[in-house]
Amino acid sequence: MAANTKPVLHGYFRSSCSWRVRIAFALKGIEYDQVTVNLIKDGGQQEFQSVNPMQQVPAVEIDGITLCQSLAVIQYVDETRPGAKLLPADPKKRAQVRMISDLIASGIQPLQNLYVIQKIGADKVQWSQHFIDRGFKALEPILKQTAGKYCVGDEISMADICLVPQVYNAERFKVNMDQYPTIKRLNQTLLEIEAFKVSHPSNQPDTPADMSA
């Protein structure tokens, strides 16, 4: 695949990790093709096995390689494509962006994803609330220190790309967001931005008709 071929995103409208990649592509102005994958549907897992043996979305075919793991994809396009920078130039700010991103990507999201909840057989809402609350209780004081208009200072970064889909999940699981005024304020600001709107789960090719905006 030539470097100038459009990347192909294998994703799912409601997957928060797929949404991260869609936001990044929108912020950088990267055109891409979407292949929608329904991992819950019968047969969805088998079909997708060859693309990502981890059987998780997103997976992105880009520049002749297949990348899984949303943060690896986001940093790859940031390092190889022009446009808005998704990581700040200052090393301390970069570290804070990565800390916030990883707190969400390693500390919250894996514990409230559908596969895990099904495996546990726990109450979906109660379990997810517990782990989102645990993470947001840690995130709120960090963001109080790092945030300006956005998560780290006044430039949109990978941290913001991780925050908004996680808040979307929190709202699905009825987490009381009034406990987290900084997170809530940042999320509201970010949702006004075009790249976050066009990439929203309610606006995707595989969004069911009754959920479309």
What does the binding site for a copy of itself look like in residue numbers (CB under 8 A)? 52-56, 63, 65, 67-69, 71-73, 75-76, 79-80, 91-92, 94-96, 98-99, 101-103, 105-107, 109-111, 116, 119-120, 122, 130, 134-135, 137-138, 141-142
Neighbours of 122 (CB within 10 A): 13
- The nearest distance, CB 151 to a copy of itself, in angstroms, is 13
The β-bridge partners of 35 are 10
* Contacts within 8 Å (CB) and 24+ apart, 38-44: 38/12, 38/206, 39/12, 39/115, 40/114
Closer residue to a copy of itself (CB): 36 or 55: 55
> Cα–Cα distance between 77 and 80 in angstroms, integer?
5
Closer residue to a copy of itself (CB): 102 or 206: 102
Closer residue to a copy of itself (CB): 40 or 198: 40
- The nearest distance, CB 148 to a copy of itself, in angstroms, is 16
- The nearest distance, CB 125 to a copy of itself, in angstroms, is 15
Q: Under 8 Å CB-to-CB from 4, ≥6 apart: which residues? A: none
- The nearest distance, CB 208 to a copy of itself, in angstroms, is 27
- The nearest distance, CB 113 to a copy of itself, in angstroms, is 10
Closer residue to a copy of itself (CB): 120 or 198: 120
- The nearest distance, CB 203 to a copy of itself, in angstroms, is 26
> Cα–Cα distance between 106 and 88 in angstroms, integer?
21
Closer residue to a copy of itself (CB): 63 or 206: 63
Query: Following DSSP, what letter does each residue of 164-212 receive, concatenated?
Result: HHHHHHHHHTT--GGG-HHHHHHHHHHHTSHHHHHTSGGGSTT--GGG-
* The pair of three-digit structure tokens given for residue 25, joined into one six-digit string: 């592509």
Closer residue to a copy of itself (CB): 34 or 112: 112
